Structure 1
Amino acid sequence: MEKRWIWAKDPYTDGPELLLEGTIASETWLGDEVTPQEFRADLKKQGQGKDITVKINSPGGDPFAACAIYEAFKEYRGKVTVKVVGLAASAASVVAMGGDEILMAPGASMMIHKSWAYACGNEDELVEIIGELKAIDAGMIRIYALRTGRDEAAIRAMIADGDYWMDAQEAVKMGFADRIIDHNAELKAAAQYAASVAHHGLLKAARNVKASGEMDEMEERRRILAENGR
């Protein structure tokens, strides 16, 4: 079964980085009890409880998959930093809400809306589908409200007339994100991290050389004492 997530290393911290790109496809998740469990297991294995970075660029997809990923992030022991690097729309915006900290790239966008579906059937079947869509909406609205601190009525008003698009600045203003990514600050932090790693590496090497030298000196002393019958 094809995975829809990729693990890499954060170039700034060298820590675990999770890439979520493309559609959160229903054919992979819907009706499949294994895949959400596989995602959780992979998150635990790859993340190892460390702080992780999650980069999102997705138009959305299956809301049930999105909720499963959201819950996996909330249950994860380490800090989850979400970076919306392109688009977090529809169900992908629900995934983004799972971050302990949510950052927006300067040119990134986020979109929320009511759930929708292709439907056919008689009157009773269509009424049942409407009920399902309302339940899905209620769950997503609850997640948005918990993250933003806005009441559910305010969130409903936002999506009452269709898709609600936010650029990075508005996403922060509305509480859907914490701040806009400052690339200059991140590059500076990365340079400081690299310098710190190099410094510790030099110190370790120096300690190893010193320890080796001390051992060589002790061996030389033992040799001299042995030659002199002591």
Structure 2
Amino acid sequence: MELYLNGLICFTDDLVDAIENSKEDVHITINSPGGVVTDALNVVNAIQKCLHTVNATVEVMACSAAAMIALSCDNVEIEPTGIIMIHNSWGTFTGNKKELQNDIDAMAAMDGAMHKAIETHCKDKSIIGKMEDGDVWMTGTDAAQYFDNITVVERKRSDRLAAVADLSTFLMPKQDEPQAPQEEPPEPEAKAELPKAEEPPKEEPKAEIKPEQKAAKLDPVTAALL
């Protein structure tokens, strides 16, 4: 099962439920500056109760509460440039001296729980004493000297290329190869001319009968003598 713990650690109920109910080995990828101690302790308890192996990979950093979670796992992978930081709990409080003393006692109890979680895989417990003096910053290589569950890994980029393409063939034709002559576009076919409408025959002008050409009207007697 693949799980991810990124950013501020808080509201970890879903993560706790996934770890406790996993039917297989669990792998947690961690990149976190820390968060709420009590929420981180819930994750630590889930890891301790898990019936399967819980592995972790630290990407960039696991600090404060995130470091406590990472160091509780069965196996931790981290690069030499990765960062782990552990320290005692801290916070801001207000109130009278009695209330402040109660807060101090509560923080001491949380520190004891954190130390217990960190000591699980600690091969040099002098690191716990350093936590009393302040923040303890470690590279992946440094952390491997104190904890037996840490493995330093170096991930390298592959030098092999998946594919190579010569883009020059898409930009211009090669000069040593003759270019194929471009075919001239075919001439457009002549459109068939529509037959012209026949003009109606011109009428010949009628001969104009002049007045003098009109036959003279004869009286009956003269017409009988002709």
Report the TM-score when normalising by structure 1: 0.63
2:135 aligned with 1:163 = yes
Q: Partner residue of 1:149?
A: 123
> Is the Cα–Cα contact under 8 Å of residues 145 and 155 in structure 1 kept in the other structure?
no
Pick one of 5, 14, 23 that aligns with 2:8: 23
Shift of the 87–41 alpha-carbon distance from structure 1 to 2, 3 Å rule, reads same
CA distance in 1 between counterparts of 2:96 and 2:70 reads: 36
**Between the two proteins, what is the percent identity of the paired residues?**
27
The count of corresponding residues between Structure 1 and Structure 2 is 158
CA distance in 2 between counterparts of 1:116 and 1:123 reads: 17
Instruction: Give the 5 Å matches for 1:96-107.
Output: 96-107=70-81
Q: Partner residue of 1:91?
A: 65
Report the TM-score when normalising by structure 2: 0.64
2:43 aligned with 1:43 = no
Shift of the 41–102 alpha-carbon distance from structure 1 to 2, 3 Å rule, reads same
Q: Partner residue of 2:218?
A: none
Q: How much has 1:41 moved relative to structure 2?
A: 3.0
Q: Partner residue of 2:49?
A: 75
In structure 1, stretches of 5+ residues that fail to align are 1-15, 30-34, 188-230
CA distance in 2 between counterparts of 1:111 and 1:63 reads: 14
Secondary structure of the residue aligned to 1:124 is helix
Q: How much has 1:176 moved relative to structure 2?
A: 6.4
Structure with more of its chain in helix, by fraction: 1
CA distance in 2 between counterparts of 1:141 and 1:134 reads: 10
* Amino acid across the alignment from 1:89: C
Pick one of 129, 136, 147 that aligns with 2:110: 136
Secondary structure of the residue aligned to 1:96 is helix
* Amino acid across the alignment from 2:70: A
In structure 2, stretches of 5+ residues that fail to align are 159-226
Q: How much has 1:100 moved relative to structure 2?
A: 0.9
> Is the Cα–Cα contact under 8 Å of residues 54 and 80 in structure 1 kept in the other structure?
yes
**Cα displacement string for residues 6-56 of structure 1 (whole angstroms, at most 9, x for unaligned residues):** xxxxxxxxxx2111000012xx36xxxxx3xx43333355x4x22222110
CA distance in 2 between counterparts of 1:110 and 1:85 reads: 10
**Cα displacement string for residues 178-229 of structure 1 (whole angstroms, at most 9, x for unaligned residues):** 2112435xx9xxxxxxxxxxxxxxxxxxxxxxxxxxxxxxxxxxxxxxxxxx
CA distance in 1 between counterparts of 2:109 and 2:51 reads: 29
Higher alpha-carbon Rg: 2
What's the RMSD between the two structures over aligned residues? Answer: 2.2
Q: Partner residue of 1:53?
A: 27
